[in-house]
Amino acid sequence: MLILGLLLLAATGAFTGLVIADNLLGGPEYTVSVLGQDIVTLNTLAVFCAGLALALLFCLGLSMAATAAAHRRHTPPRGDRGESARLGRHT
């Protein structure tokens, strides 16, 4: 889950960076191009909604990465059974 979250973070960040770098000219209609290929022509509302969607994907990836890191930090290793196993107590 950590790798998937980090991959989602990197992909949304890279895509957003490429779109911003390739589309610095503005007007009432925006032709979105990535790496020299025209993808779509959007109006201002559509650009805003696409930005919201990318922000939500970024937050989802950040949440997945943070949750996986916290889970990994608080989960004991699989071979460790704790103090009760060393003392001979079975729970």
19 against 7, higher pLDDT = 7
68 against 72, higher pLDDT = 68
pLDDT at position 33: 80
Judging by beta carbons within 10 Å of its beta carbon (0-12, 13-18, 19+), is residue 32 exposed, middle or buried? middle
Query: Domain residue spans in the chain?
Result: 2-72
**Model confidence at 26: pLDDT above 70:** no
84 against 23, higher pLDDT = 23
Distance separating alpha carbons of residues 3 and 13, to the nearest angstrom:
15
- Residue 69: pLDDT band by 50, 70, 90 thresholds? confident
The predicted model gives 53-70 an average pLDDT of 85
**Model confidence at 30: pLDDT above 70:** yes
**Model confidence at 65: pLDDT above 70:** yes
pTM above 0.85, yes or no: no
Distance separating alpha carbons of residues 3 and 1, to the nearest angstrom:
5
